[in-house]
C-alpha cells in the first residue's frame, strides 16, 4: 500500500475530550463522533493503522457491512477536515496515519511516567506529576465510556494506574496517597495500616473515626471484620494515648456547651449517664469529643467506642476494644462479648451480661467514662445492654455517655431511664453558620472580600445550619469550597442512605416536593399522585424525619436533601415529573385563576424539555419559556429571566421549521428581552449579541425598528452620540413602515437633542408623536412625549414642557412601577427645578428614583441621581448633592460613559469647595479632566471647563 507524503508532529489528546493540535491550536470540533473515534483508534494502534473492516466492526458494528464500510469512508473524510491534509491516509483495505508523521499522545506520556515509577521508587520531584497522572487516569476516552472498543484500553490503563498509586504511596508515605490506594482497593491492609497510623498521630478521636471507617468498609466489602494486625494496631495506638489536638472550630451551640460544662465535673467522678441526640451531622460527635477532652483534663480515663452499621465483628464489637484496654482481671465477660451473643455454657443472660460488664468497669483503678458514639447503629442486643448499663451507673466510679441520630427511624436509639440526662443538639443559627463558614474558608486571607462573602452566604443557605454539611461543603474536593450544584460524596452517601427505605410512592412525593419547591402544597400533590397515596406517603416521610417539622406546608427537611433528590433523578424521570407538575399547576391555575400558578406551569413545561430535550416537546417549551421569561424580566428579576429566556430560545432553535415559523415573533421578543437582561446585568457585549440575533430573525418592520432602537441604545448609554445616530440612520434606511420609522425617529430626535441640536430635533419628535397618538400607540406616545417635552424645555419653554410631561404620564399605559414612568418623573423633577418649585421637584425625583431602583437599570438610575444632586444643591443641601453624585459615579463605574462621569466629577469639585474640603475638590477636578480626555468629546470638554472655572455645576445636562 502506497504511503502518502506528510511530515511533522501530530499531538493527540486521549485523556478527556479527544483533540488534536493543528496549526490553529487544539481542535475538538469533530463533525461527527465517528471522526473522533477513528483518530483515537489510529492513535492507540501501535502501527498507527487499522484495516477498514476492523474499524467498521468497532465503530459501526450494529450496521450491515456495506453501510458500515461506507461510514468508515465518511468518518475518514470528516476527520481530515480537522487534522489537516496528508495526515490520514487510506486505500480500499486499510486506513493509517502517514508514516512521516510523528504521533504523540498524552496517554503515552502518562504511561511512560507511570512505568518509571514501577521500575524504581519515584523521587519526590516527580510526586506531583504522578498525582496528576492518577487524577486523570479515568478520563481515558471519557466520551466513549460504553464503546466496546474502548474497554480494553481503559482496563489496561486502570491496572497501571492502580499499581502506580501503590508505588507512589509507598514512596511518599502520605495519607492522601494511601487514600487513593483505598479508593481502588478499599480493604488493602498496607494502606489501612498507614491511614490508621496517621490518624493516631492526630489524636484518639481521629483514630477512632478511622478505625470505625475501616470496620465499616470491611463489613461492606468482605462481610468480615478487619484482620487482627489492623485491630492490634488500632488498639495499641489508642492505649498509648497518642494525640495531637488541632484547633477548636466550635461555633455556636452555646446552650449545649453550657449543658455539658455543668455536667462534666460530675461525670468525671462517675455515676452519670447521658444521651446526646439529633439529626445526622448536627454536631453530636464534635460536642462529645470536646466533653471527652474536658473529662481527661479532670483526671478521668476515657474509653471511646463507635458503632457501625451491620458490624460483621458481632453485636458487641464496639465495646470489646474499649473494655480490653487496661483490664488485667478475669476475661470471661470479654470473651463472651467477642463470641457475639449472651447465653453461653457459663449461662450468661442479658441481665447478667450487663452486671458483669459493670463489674469490669468497676475494676478500673481510676474514674472512667465509657463513651459510645453512633448508638443508632448498635445491634438490638447492644442497645439492650446499654439501656441496662444506664440504670447501673448510680454510685459507680464510671459514667456512660451515649450519642446517636434521632432521625434514623429504622435504627432507633437505646431506651434510657429517666435518670439519664438527655440533650437534643439543634442546628446553628444563620449568624453562627456564617461565622463557622468564614473560619473554614479562612476568609481573613481572602484577596476578594466581596467574592469570599458571597461564598459564605451560599454555604449558609446550602448547609441549613448543619456543621457537618457545612464543613464538607466548605472544604470540598481539594480544599475548594463547593458552592455550585456539586454535593460532597460523604454528604451524598449519608442522605442517599436515608432515602433507601422509602416506598416508591413516598419517593415520588419527595421528588415532587423537591421540584415544586415553594409551590408544593397538598392539593398539588393530590393532583399528581392521588389523595390516599399522598396521605400515606407524607406519613412515611414524617416517620423517617424527612419533612420539615416546623413548616406548615410539606417541605424536605434540609436544602441538601433536595439537592440529592434532584441529583439522583435521571433525565427521563426529571422530564416526567416536570410534565406532571406543569399539568397539575395548569389545572390549579384554571380552578383558582392565579397567574403565579400559570407562570409556574410554564416554567415546568420548559424544565421538562431542558431535562430531556426532544423535538416534539421543543415548541411548547419555547412558547412557555418565552412568555414566562418576559414576565420575570418585567418583575425586575433579570438573572432569573435570562436563564429562562436562554433555555426557551434553545428550545425554539430545536423546534421544527413549521413550529419556528409560528413562534418567530415571540422569539424576536425573547431576544430583545434577553438583550435587556444582559444589559441590566452589566454585559453589553452579550446584550449586543442577543439584539443582533433578534434582528436576524425579525421580519416585520416594527420588529426590525425595535432591534435597531435597542442596538442604538447601547452606544447612547456610553455617551457615544454619533454612533447612536449612525445605527438609527441605518435602521431608517431598512424600514419604510410609518410606525416603525416613527420609533427610530423618536430616538434620532432625542439623540440630536443630546448633541445640542434641539431645534433640529423638534419637528422630528413632533411628527413621531403624532404618528403614535393618531394610531393609538399610547405606550410609544408616552415615550415620545417625554422626549418632546424635554426638547421644548431646552428651547426655553419649561411650562409647555411640564404640560407635555403631564400628558405623557396620562398616556403611559403601564404599571406604576414601570421604568418609563420613573424616567418621566425624574424629567418632571428637572423641569420643576427650573421653574423654582423645589419641594415638588424633590418629590418627583425621589418617586422616580424609587421606581428606577426596582428596575435595576444602572444607567437610567444614574440620570435620576444626577437630577437629584441638582435639586439638593438648589435646596441648600450640598451634602445631599454629594451623596447623590457619589452614588451616580459608582453606578457609572465600568460603563465607559466618560461624558457623564466628567460632568459628575466637575459638580463634585464645586460641591467640595463649598463644603470646605479642598483636597477632595482637587481630586474630583483631576478626575473630571481625566474623564474629559477619555471621552474625546469637545462639547464635554467645553462644558466641564466652564463649570470648573465658575465653580457652579448645577443644572447639568439632562438625560
Q: Over 60: is that where the pLDDT of 2 sits?
A: no
Stronger pLDDT, 672 or 92, i.e. the higher one: 672
Q: What is the pLDDT of residue 807?
A: 87
Contact 230, 313 (CB under 8 A): no
Q: For residues 664 and 666, give the distance between their C-alpha atoms in angstroms, rounded to a whole number.
A: 5
Rounded Cα distance between 314 and 310, Å, is: 9
C-alpha cell at 662: 409560528
Using only the alpha carbons of the chain, give its radius of gyration.
Answer: 37
**What pLDDT score does 331 carry?**
59
Q: Which band of pLDDT confidence, cut at 50, 70 and 90, is reported for residue 942? A: confident
Return the pLDDT at 248: 52
CA distance 459 to 438: 10
Q: Of 473-487, 659-673, 942-956, where does the model show the most confidence?
A: 659-673
**752 close to 725: Cβ distance less than 8 angstroms:** yes
Give the residue, 866 or 893, on which the prediction is more confident. Answer: 866
Predicted confidence band of residue 148 (pLDDT cuts 50, 70, 90):
confident
Rounded CA separation 721/939 (Å):
11
Output the pLDDT for position 334. 67
pLDDT attached to residue 477: 42
pLDDT value for 369: 92
Mean pLDDT to the nearest integer, 874-889:
90
pLDDT at 269: 92
Over residues 921-930, the pLDDT tens digits come to 888 888 888 8
Residue 244 has pLDDT above 50, yes or no: no
Mean pLDDT computed over 5-9? 64
Tell me, what's the pLDDT at 957?
Answer: 39
- If one counts every other C-beta atom within 10 angstroms of the C-beta of residue 248, the result is 10
Higher pLDDT, 447 or 707: 707
Greatest mean pLDDT among 17-31, 116-130, 176-190 lies in 116-130
What's 143-204 look like in SS3?
HHCCCHHHHHHHHHHHHHHHHHHHHHHHHHCCHHHHHHHHHHCCCCHHHHHHHHHHHHHHCH
What CA–CA distances, in Å, run from 384 to 201, 246, 349, 380, 399?
34, 36, 12, 6, 17
Measured CA angle at 59 (ends 55, 62), to 5 deg: 120
Mean pLDDT, rounded, of the chain:
83
The reported pLDDT for the residue numbered 815 is 45
What pLDDT sits at residue 440?
79
Q: How far is CA 538 from the centre of its chain?
A: 29
> Does residue 308 surpass a pLDDT of 50?
yes
pLDDT at position 775 is 65
Of 380, 329, 376, 379, the C-alpha closest to 357 is 329
pLDDT value of position 363: 81
Q: How far apart, in whole angstroms, are the C-alpha atoms of residue 274 and residue 297?
A: 19
Whole-angstrom CA distances from 604 to 484, 599, 601 are 22, 9, 5
Residue 955's pLDDT is 38
Q: What is the pLDDT of residues 525-534, one digit of tens each?
A: 988 988 888 8
* pLDDT of residue 654 exceeding 60: yes
Q: Could you tell me which residue, 4 or 883, shows the higher pLDDT?
A: 883
Nearest to 399 by CA among 241, 257, 275, 285: 275
In percent, the amount of the chain with pLDDT more than 70 equals: 90
**pLDDT of 291 above 80:** yes
Q: What is the mean pLDDT of residues 282-298?
A: 88
Collapsing DSSP states into helix, strand and coil, what is residue 331?
Answer: coil
pLDDT exceeds cutoff 70 at 958: no
Higher pLDDT, 883 or 201: 883
pLDDT exceeds cutoff 80 at 62: no
User: pLDDT tens for residues 185-198?
Assistant: 888 888 888 888 88
Least confident of 703-707, 798-802, 807-811: 807-811
258/60: higher pLDDT = 258
Angle at 827 between CA 888 and CA 629, to 5 degrees: 70
pTM for the model = 0.53
Angle separating helix axes 684-697 and 701-716, nearest 10 degrees? 160
Residue 895 has pLDDT above 70, yes or no: no
Nearest by Cα to 786 from 819, 820, 752: 820
pLDDT the model gives residue 249: 58
CA distance to 427, 505, 507, 543, per residue, from 501 (Å): 25, 12, 9, 11
Going from the C-alpha of 914 to that of each of 324, 414, 866, 949, the distances in angstroms are 85, 77, 18, 14
Confidence band of 5 (pLDDT split at 50, 70, 90): very low
**Residue 371 phi, psi dihedral angles, 5° rounding:** -105, 125
The Cα–Cα gap between 645 and 673 comes to: 8
Going by pLDDT thresholds of 50, 70 and 90, the confidence category of residue 557 is: confident
- pLDDT tens track for 567-616: 888 888 888 898 899 899 888 887 777 777 888 888 888 888 888 888 88
Confidence of residue 335 (pLDDT cuts 50, 70, 90): low
How many other C-beta atoms can be found within 10 angstroms of the C-beta atom of residue 64?
9
Which H or E run includes 291? helix 284-297
Contacts of 667 (CB under 8 A, 6+ apart): 622, 626, 649, 652, 660, 694, 697
pLDDT single digits (tens) 202-221: 666 667 767 777 877 777 77
SS3 for 353-404, per residue? HHHHHHHHHHCCCCCEEEEEECHHHCCHHHHHHHHHHHHCCCCCCEEEEEEE
pLDDT at 553: 82
Whether residue 13 is predicted with pLDDT greater than 60 in this model: the reply is: yes
Contact predicate 868/846, CB 8 Å: yes
pLDDT of amino acid 406: 85
CA distance 547 to 693: 46
**Residue count of the chain:** 959
Q: Measure the CA–CA gap between 321 and 75, rounded to whole angstroms.
A: 65
Tell me the C-alpha distance between 564 and 441, whole Å. 23
Higher pLDDT, 917 or 318: 917
* Per-residue confidence (pLDDT) for residue 770, from 0 to 100: 85
Identify which of 71-75, 147-151, 619-623 has the greatest average pLDDT: 619-623
Q: How is residue 46 written as a grid cell? A: 501501535
pLDDT score at 345: 35
End-to-end CA distance of the chain: 76
343: left (phi over 0), alpha (psi -120 to 50) or beta: left
Residues 344-368: what's their mean pLDDT? 74
Predicted local confidence at residue 214, as pLDDT: 80
Q: Rounded to an integer, what distance in angstroms lies between the CA atom of residue 269 and that of residue 367? A: 6
Which pLDDT belongs to residue 389? Answer: 92
Percent of the chain with pLDDT over 90: 29
List Cα–Cα distances, 209 to 285, 289, 523, 620, 927, in angstroms.
Answer: 10, 11, 45, 53, 61
Residues 11-15 have a mean pLDDT of 92
Q: How many Å apart are CA 622 and CA 608, to the nearest integer? A: 11
For residue range 824-857, list pLDDT tens digits in order. Answer: 999 999 999 999 999 999 999 999 998 888 777 7
- Cα 193–195–200 angle (5° rounding)? 95
Amino acid at each position: 500500500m502506497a504511503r502518502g507524503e506528510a511530515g511533522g508532529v501530530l499531538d493527540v489528546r486521549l485523556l478527556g475530550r479527544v483533540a488534536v493540535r493543528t496549526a490553529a491550536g487544539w481542535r475538538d470540533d469533530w463533525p461527527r463522533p465517528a471522526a473522533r473515534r477513528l483518530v483515537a483508534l489510529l492513535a492507540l494502534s501501535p502501527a498507527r493503522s487499522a484495516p477498514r473492516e476492523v474499524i467498521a466492526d468497532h465503530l459501526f458494528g450494529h450496521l450491515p457491512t456495506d453501510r458500515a464500510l461506507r461510514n468508515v469512508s465518511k468518518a475518514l473524510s470528516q476527520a481530515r477536515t480537522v487534522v489537516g491534509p496528508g495526515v490520514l491516509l487510506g486505500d480500499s483495505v486499510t486506513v493509517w496515519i502517514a508514516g512521516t508523521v510523528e504521533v504523540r499522545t498524552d496517554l503515552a506520556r502518562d504511561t511512560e511516567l507511570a512505568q518509571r515509577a514501577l521500575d524504581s521508587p519515584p523521587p519526590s520531584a516527580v510526586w506531583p506529576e504522578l498525582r496528576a497522572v492518577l487524577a486523570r487516569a479515568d478520563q481515558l476516552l471519557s466520551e466513549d465510556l460504553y464503546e466496546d472498543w474502548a474497554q480494553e484500553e481503559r482496563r489496561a490503563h486502570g491496572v497501571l494506574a492502580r499499581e502506580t498509586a501503590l508505588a507512589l504511596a509507598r514512596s511518599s508515605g502520605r495519607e492522601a496517597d494511601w487514600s487513593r490506594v483505598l479508593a481502588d482497593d478499599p480493604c488493602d491492609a498496607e494502606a489501612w495500616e498507614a491511614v490508621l497510623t496517621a490518624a493516631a498521630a492526630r489524636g484518639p478521636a481521629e483514630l477512632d473515626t478511622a478505625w470505625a471507617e475501616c470496620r465499616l468498609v470491611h463489613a461492606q466489602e468482605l462481610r468480615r471484620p478487619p484482620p487482627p494486625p489492623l485491630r492490634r494496631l488500632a488498639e495499641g495506638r489508642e492505649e498509648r494515648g497518642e494525640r495531637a489536638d488541632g484547633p477548636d472550630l466550635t461555633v455556636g451551640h452555646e446552650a449545649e456547651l453550657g449543658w455539658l460544662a455543668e455536667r462534666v465535673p460530675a461525670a468525671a467522678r462517675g455515676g452519670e449517664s447521658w444521651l446526646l441526640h439529633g439529626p445526622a451531622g448536627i454536631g453530636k460527635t464534635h460536642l462529645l469529643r470536646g466533653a471527652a477532652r474536658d473529662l481527661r483534663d479532670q483526671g478521668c480515663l476515657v474509653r471511646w467506642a463507635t458503632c457501625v452499621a451491620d458490624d460483621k465483628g458481632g453485636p458487641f464489637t464496639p465495646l470489646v476494644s474499649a473494655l480490653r484496654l487496661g483490664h488485667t482481671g478475669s476475661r470471661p465477660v470479654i470473651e463472651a462479648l467477642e463470641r457475639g451473643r449472651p447465653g453461653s455454657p457459663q449461662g450468661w443472660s442479658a441481665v447478667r451480661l450487663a452486671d458483669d460488664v459493670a463489674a469490669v468497669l468497676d475494676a478500673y483503678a481510676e474514674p472512667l467514662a465509657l463513651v459510645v458514639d453512633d448508638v443508632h447503629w448498635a445491634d438490638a442486643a447492644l442497645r439492650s445492654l446499654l439501656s441496662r448499663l444506664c440504670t447501673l451507673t448510680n454510685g459507680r466510679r464510671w459514667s456512660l455517655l451515649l450519642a446517636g441520630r434521632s432521625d434514623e427511624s429504622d435504627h432507633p436509639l437505646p431506651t434510657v431511664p429517666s435518670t439519664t440526662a438527655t440533650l437534643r443538639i439543634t442546628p446553628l443559627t444563620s449568624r453562627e453558620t456564617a461565622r463557622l463558614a468564614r473560619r473554614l474558608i479562612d476568609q481573613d486571607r481572602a484577596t476578594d472580600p466581596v467574592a469570599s462573602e458571597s461564598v459564605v452566604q451560599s454555604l449558609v443557605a446550602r448547609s441549613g445550619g448543619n456543621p457537618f454539611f457545612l464543613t464538607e461543603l466548605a472544604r470540598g474536593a481539594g480544599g475548594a469550597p463547593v458552592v455550585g450544584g456539586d454535593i460532597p460524596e460523604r454528604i451524598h452517601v449519608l442522605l442517599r442512605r436515608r432515602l433507601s427505605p422509602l416506598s416508591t410512592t413516598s419517593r415520588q412525593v419527595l421528588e415532587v416536593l423537591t421540584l415544586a419547591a415553594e409551590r408544593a402544597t397538598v392539593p398539588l400533590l393530590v393532583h399528581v399522585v392521588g389523595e390516599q397515596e399522598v396521605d400515606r406517603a407524607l406519613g412515611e416521610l414524617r416517620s423517617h424525619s424527612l419533612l420539615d417539622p416546623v413548616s406548615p406546608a410539606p417541605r424536605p427537611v434540609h436544602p441538601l436533601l433536595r439537592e440529592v433528590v434532584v441529583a439522583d433523578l435521571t433525565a427521563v424521570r426529571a422530564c416526567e415529573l416536570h410534565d406532571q407538575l406543569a399539568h397539575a399547576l395548569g389545572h390549579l391555575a384554571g380552578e383558582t385563576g392565579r397567574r403565579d400558578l400559570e407562570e409556574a406551569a410554564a416554567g415546568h413545561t420548559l424544565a421538562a424539555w431542558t431535562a430531556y430535550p426532544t423535538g416534539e416537546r421543543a415548541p411548547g417549551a419555547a412558547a412557555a419559556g418565552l412568555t414566562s421569561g418576559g414576565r420575570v424580566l418585567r418583575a425586575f428579576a433579570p438573572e432569573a429571566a435570562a436563564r429562562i429566556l436562554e433555555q426557551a430560545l434553545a428550545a425554539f432553535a430545536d423546534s421544527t421549521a413549521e413550529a419556528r415559523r409560528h413562534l418567530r415573533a415571540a422569539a424576536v421578543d425573547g431576544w430583545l428581552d434577553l438583550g435587556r437582561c444582559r444589559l441590566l446585568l452589566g454585559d453589553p457585549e452579550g446584550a449586543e449579541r442577543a439584539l443582533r440575533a433578534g434582528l436576524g430573525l425579525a421580519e416585520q418592520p416594527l420588529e426590525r425598528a425595535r432591534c435597531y432602537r435597542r442596538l442604538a441604545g447601547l452606544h447612547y448609554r456610553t455617551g457615544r452620540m454619533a454612533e447612536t445616530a449612525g445605527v438609527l440612520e441605518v435602521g431608517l434606511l431598512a424600514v419604510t413602515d410609518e410606525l416603525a420609522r416613527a420609533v427610530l425617529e423618536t430616538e434620532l430626535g432625542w439623540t440630536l437633542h443630546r448633541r445640542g441640536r434641539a431645534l433640529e430635533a423638534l419637528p422630528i419628535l413632533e411628527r413621531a408623536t403624532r404618528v403614535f397618538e393618531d394610531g393609538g400607540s399610547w405606550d410609544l406616545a408616552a415615550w415620545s412625549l417625554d422626549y418632546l417635552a424635554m426638547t421644548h424645555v431646552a428651547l426655553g419653554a419649561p411650562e409647555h414642557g411640564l404640560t407635555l410631561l403631564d400628558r405623557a404620564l396620562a398616556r403611559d399605559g403601564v404599571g406604576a412601577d414601570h421604568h418609563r414612568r420613573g424616567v418621566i418623573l425624574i424629567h418632571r423633577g428637572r423641569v420643576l427645578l427650573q421653574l423654582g418649585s423645589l419641594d415638588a421637584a424633590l418629590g418627583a425625583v425621589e418617586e422616580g428614583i424609587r421606581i428606577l431602583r426596582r428596575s435595576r437599570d444602572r444607567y437610567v438610575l444614574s440620570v435620576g441621581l444626577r437630577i437629584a444632586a441638582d435639586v439638593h444643591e438648589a435646596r441648600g443641601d450640598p451634602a445631599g448633592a454629594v451623596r447623590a453624585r457619589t452614588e451616580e459615579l459608582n453606578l457609572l463605574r465600568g460603563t465607559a460613559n466618560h461624558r457623564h462621569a466628567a460632568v459628575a466629577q466637575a459638580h463634585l469639585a464645586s460641591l467640595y469647595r463649598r463644603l470646605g474640603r479642598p483636597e477632595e475638590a482637587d481630586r474630583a477636578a483631576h478626575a473630571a479632566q481625566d474623564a474629559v480626555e477619555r471621552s474625546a468629546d469637545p462639547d464635554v470638554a467645553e462644558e466641564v471647563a466652564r463649570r470648573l472655572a465658575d465653580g457652579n455645576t448645577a443644572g447639568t445636562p439632562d438625560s
